[in-house]
Amino acid sequence: MKIWQFTEQAYHPAFQVPGPMRVTLPQHHCDPVEAGQLLNRYLDEYMLADELGLNIMVNEHHAAATCMSTSCMTTLAILARQTSKARLLALGIPLANRSNPLRVAEEIAMVDAISGGRLEVGLVKGAAYELFMSNRQPTGFMDRFWEAHDLILDALGNQGENFSWEGEHFHYRTASLWPRPIQQPGPPMWGTASSAASAREYGRRDYTCATFLSGAVARSVFTGYRESYRDTHGREPSQDKLAYLALVACADDTATAFARAEKMRSYFTTAARLDPQFRNPLGFNAIDANVRMLQAGSAAMRPRLRNGQPLPVDGTIEQYMDAGLFFVGTPDEVFEQLAAFHGETGGFGNLLMMGQAGELDHAETVSNLTLVARDVAPRVAELPDYPTEIRYEAVG
């Protein structure tokens, strides 16, 4: 298992402002000098991750105090230059927030060139509530997503003459990337899934499939991926094709680790602060999906505790650990927890680790990353890629 450092780069001083943290939070609550200091601090921590032999994952959000990275590729353009070893993962570039897919391809190519071919890319839908900022048309989104996706891949991998594109949704007289990406036909592609059904598409496409903070559901996501991969390609995928995102709080002693986890916990409580009308803009989700969500109720979307109950948003550290969203303790304890979860889910080769979250400060983050890199990463690197028959025994 490889470990990727990830932080949402929160403007945590705003967490004290009552009310929503997204869409409607007025920008006067942001002190730009403090924001700049925080962004530089998070970049320092990414550079430390590189020195420690960890990989790097960056995301983006919009109009949110919970995440100040408003462009994956802007953040990664800096890290492409300032790191030397780490793989650099954009997970992901939200196509619902991009009006110009050729521009997306240009930014991918430029960062891949600057980094010497270390970029990995997830093209994702994007958070539904961010349509209020991009104002892209909510309806028919998936058709536009796949056309943009196809155009971006064609542009990245083109080794022939420049081409024109007259699609249903996008129109270009000439597509020409200067620079073009070092990696050919393009950087490794990722996708995100929260169900077996959505994972199958990535299995078919041989993309790396990540699932975020999904706990026990990760097992079915990975199973769906493995099934479609086997059906399409006639062989088992290596576990490098599967990834899980969770928080990690590690320290020399358990009590300190829990104290760190407590500071990171505000990631969960602030991420959920959003007025309900923005969660699901009319027309973005398919009608059948909306009907199912309404019938199931909001608790159905929550990860589960081992007793089957939904994980409360303001749950305890122990509850977040129980649900498989948080790994907390000494390096030995974190390793044991990760190894157990790895076994329960049938195995995955990438831990997308929130090694900084919420209000965890710089010194604590440095310690957290250092311990994980030194004492956990070498051991999880040895976790076995289970043979099929053992895996199915493990997943039950």
Interface with other proteins (CB under 8 A): 132, 135, 137-140, 275-278, 281-284, 287, 290-291, 294-295, 297
What is the radius of gyration, based on Cα positions, of the chain?
A: 20
Residue 171: φ, ψ to 5°: -140, 120
Minimum CB distance to other proteins smaller for 46 or for 141: 141
Choice between 142 and 291, CB closer to other proteins: 291
> Minimal distance in Å, beta carbon 294 to other proteins?
5
Beta-sheet pairing, 163-166 with 171-175: antiparallel
Name the residue nearer to other proteins (CB basis): 256 or 280: 280
Q: How far apart are the C-alpha atoms of 382 and 33, rounded to whole Å?
A: 43
Place of tokens 């590690």: 250
In this structure, are residues 230 and 204 in contact, taking their beta carbons and an 8 Å threshold? no
For residue 290, the minimal CB distance to other proteins (Å) is 5
Distance in Å, CB of 286 to other proteins, minimum: 9
What minimum distance in Å lies between the beta carbon of 277 and other proteins? 4
Residues 6+ away with beta carbon under 8 Å from 142: 125, 286
Least Cβ distance, residue 280 to other proteins (angstroms): 10
Compute the least distance from the CB of residue 174 to other proteins, in Å. Answer: 26
Residue with Cβ nearer other proteins (197 or 300): 300
For residues 41 and 169, which CB has a smaller minimum distance to other proteins in the complex?
169
CA 227 to the chain's CA centroid: 23
- Closest contact distance (angstroms) between CB of 296 and other proteins is 9
User: Between 90 and 96, whose beta carbon lies closer to other proteins?
Assistant: 96
Q: Which is nearer to other proteins, 15 or 132 (CB)?
A: 132
Alpha-carbon span 80 to 94, nearest angstrom = 20
Q: Are 159 and 88 contacting, i.e. CB atoms less than 8 angstroms apart?
A: no
Least Å distance, CB 313 to other proteins, is 18
Nearer to other proteins, 135 or 307 (CB): 135
In this structure, the number of other CB atoms found within 10 A of the CB of residue 15 comes to 17
Cα separation, 371 vs 350, in Å, equals 18
Is residue 101 within 8 Å of residue 151, measured between CB atoms? yes
Question: In the complex with other proteins, which residue's Cβ is closer, 36 or 297?
Answer: 297
Nearest distance in Å: CB 352, other proteins: 32
Nearer to other proteins, 53 or 281 (CB): 281
Q: How far is the CB of 126 from other proteins (least distance, A)?
A: 16
- For the chain, give percent helix, strand, coil, nearest 5: 50, 15, 35
Look up residue 347 and give its amino acid. Answer: G
Question: Residue 127 CB, nearest distance to other proteins (Å)?
Answer: 16
**Residue 205 or residue 302: which is nearer to other proteins going by CB?**
302
DSSP 3-state assignment of 304? strand
CA-based torsion, 34, 36, 37, 39: positive or negative: positive
Counting beta carbons within 10 angstroms of the beta carbon of residue 199, is it exposed (0 to 12), middle (13 to 18) or buried (19 or more)? buried
**Residue 126, number of CB atoms within 10 A of its CB:** 23
Rounded to whole angstroms, how far apart are CA atoms 67 and 69? 6
Residues 346-362 as b or e (16 or more Cβ within 10 Å = b): bbbbbbbbbbbbbbbee
Find, among 99, 65, 158, 59, the residue nearest to 358 by Cα: 65
